[in-house]
Amino acid sequence: MALKKYTPVTPGIRQRVIIDRSGLPDKTLAPKSLITSKKKVTGRNNTGRITVRHRGGAMKRKYRIIEFGRSKLDIEGKVTSVEFDPNRTANIALITYKDGTKTFILAPSGLEIGHTIIASKNEVPLEVGNATLIKNIPSGVYVHNVEMVPGQGGKLGRSAGMKIQVQGRTRKYVQVKLPSGEIRLVHENCMATIGTVSNEDHMHEVLGKAGVNRRLGRRPTVRGVAMHAQDHPHGGGEGRTGTGGPASDKWGNRIGKRTRNNKRTDKFIVKRRYKK
């Protein structure tokens, strides 16, 4: 999708760059069964304590129920509309199947109104939007919405512009390369959708002002060096001072330290996204 820039008549839009959504409908065309209310995310747990900082105050939005599992097998569906989803960076597509059922899926790049797609556990044409078992997809093809456990629904490659490359097959597993550079093994019976996730230009958006972040539910973040010593390891001192050591969070944990500790799934990682 194209990018939209503004004439700098106010400071807030001087640097603002957004996605041009003039080709998308202003209102969703989906039935009410696919749209539900969504509780505001304020970063609090069930006791009311803030467990995730810097969240709250977002605009109201309805949640679109997305079919990540592609359960409608061997039934052709027609793309009714491609729409904006306020809950994710990618666009979504409304699919109408031959039996009259309507569902939302993640819209891959190049999928347009009127296109026909199909999901099957057998081989399908290598066209964007079609879904099949990852063992049926040849090496070098880009996919998205890949399952990690068969039947669980897509977990990998779901945000705007994401693409996962199928690289080869090893016994009951297929080797895939993730956008982070990590090479991982996925079970051959996991479903994957062919194509790249839509809205690739999302990474080039510039919000332009702090108010846009507030409407998205992101609250201000205070620097540690600007706090008192009792509030942050970086705080305290007369005048401007450095951190006095490695960068740490509010609780003294070193920032950048890798916290992954799942030995049960280490065997599925062929190459990590970083060097040890």
Q: Concatenated DSSP letters for 78-124?
A: EEEEEE--TTSSS-EEEEEETTS-EEEEEPBTT--TT-EE-B-SS--
Q: How far apart are CA 213 and CA 160, in angstroms?
A: 19
**Exposed e or buried b for every residue in 84-112, given b needs 16+ CB within 10 A?**
bbeebbbbbbbbeeeeeeebbbbbbbebe
CA-atom Rg of the chain in angstroms: 22
- Low-confidence stretches of the chain (pLDDT < 50) are none
Give dist(CA 4, CA 12) in Å, integer.
Answer: 15
Q: Which of 169, 115, 107 is nearest to 138 (CA)?
A: 169
State the Cα torsion 238-239-242-245 to the nearest 10°.
10
Among positive and negative, which fits the CA dihedral 222, 227, 231, 233?
positive
Two tokens, residue 14: 């001087």
What is the set of domains in the chain, with CATH numbers?
3-43+60-203 (2.30.30.30)
Q: Under a CB-based contact definition with an 8 Å cutoff, are residues 55 and 41 in contact?
A: yes
pLDDT of residue 244: 82
Between CA 48 and CA 34 the distance in angstroms is: 30
Per the confidence metrics, is the pTM higher than 0.85? yes
From CA 266, how far away is CA 114, in angstroms rounded?
Answer: 43
pLDDT reported for residue 170: 85
| Residue 83 backbone dihedrals phi, psi, to 5 degrees | -125, 165
Residue 150 tokens read as 């068969």
Other CB atoms within 10 A of residue 127 CB:
15
Q: What's the pLDDT at 17? A: 96
Residue 23 CB-density burial (10 A; 0-12 exposed, 13-18 middle, 19+ buried): exposed
Q: Residue 53 in contact with residue 85, Cβ under 8 Å?
A: no
Q: What length is written for the chain?
A: 276
